[in-house]
Amino acid sequence: MATVRDFLKVKGHQVWSVSPSTPLKEALGIMAQHKIGALVVLQDGNVVGIFSERDYARAAVEMSALNMDTPVRELMTSPVYYVTPLQSADEVMALMSAKHFRHLPVIDDNRLVGVISIGDVVKFVIHEKEDEIKNLEDYIWVHFA
Amino acid sequence: MPTVREILENKGDEVWSVSPENSVQTALEIMAIHNCGTVLVLEGSKVAGIFSERDFVRCSVEIPGFSKSSKVLTAMTTPVFYVTPDQSIDQVMLLMTEKHIRHLPVVENEQLVGMISIGDVVREVISEKDTTIRGLENFIIGREVSL
């Protein structure tokens, strides 16, 4: 069974982050520029929140006008669910679908080591199942053909 | 190979939509109430565009003077990729991953008949592959027992 560590080996450890005081305008700019759906909010190296396009869309409903100077801290989701590098792909997928998350920070020893998205997990799980099918077919071919 | 039609049979044909003249605020309210990330933009029964949380982020950054009272027309993505009920799940998944899109309207005879999301497709693909794996395992077990 693949673990979170295996995903990160494939996709890399790049994480887009902002600080809690980053203005909304700047955070949205990073998301639009890099075509990403969420940013990790870091303070002194600790994960204090996550800010997603959904957080913005939901918060905007209640804002009387879009104030682009609002600090991210006021709109982010906190506390944050996270996973560790040794958790299995199945556990991550279960957490994501139960909570309707598309992104989870990966934390090892209190240190942020990556972010995985629902897209990463799905690609990996499907690939893994295809390998399993191929192995079973090979086994049948060798033993019974 | 399962088709789009089978997914729609399981999930129903409910689609949340707005008109191009509605405000962005109205679209965001519908998305919040139904906890979804996308609304379809319909002009009569014709698909005019699609408006997502991502479009909202993009417009807020890129369009000077953009506000929640802006019309959906100015913020939606158009033209819209769509699929037909007879397309296979694999084709749909390919389209979604290549174009980085999470939702596709399903259109038959120029009529909108439903909407499928990446989540729907993934659930179907995984369940199909699990069925294949179980079938192969049962075959092996059966043969080994009879040997």
Does the complex come out with an ipTM higher than 0.90?
A: no
Question: A12 or B52: which carries more pLDDT confidence?
Answer: B52
Distance CA A124, CA A142 (A): 27
Encode burial over B125-141: b for 16+ CB neighbours within 10 A, e otherwise.
beeebeeebeebeeeee
The residues pairing with B98 across neighbouring beta strands, listed in sequence order, are: none
Task: Name the residue among A61, A37, A62, A41 with its Cα closest to residue A50.
Answer: A41
Residues of chain A contacting B, Cβ within 8 Å: 25, 28-29, 31-32, 35, 37, 53-54, 56-58, 60-61, 63, 65-66, 68, 97, 100, 118-119, 122-123, 125-126, 129-130, 132-133, 136-137, 139-140, 143-144
Task: Name the residue among B92, B136, B4, B7 with its Cα closest to residue A129.
Answer: B136
| B136 with A140: Cβ contact below 8 A | yes
Domains along chain A?
4-144 (3.10.580.10)
Domains along chain B?
4-146 (3.10.580.10)
The residues pairing with B117 across neighbouring beta strands, listed in sequence order, are: B103
Sheet with B17-18: list strands edge to edge: B17-18, B38-43, B46-52
The residue whose two tokens read 């955070």 is A27
Q: Tell whether the model's pLDDT for residue B104 goes beyond 70.
A: yes
Q: Label residue B120 by pLDDT band (50, 70, 90).
A: confident
Which amino acid would we find at residue B11? Answer: K
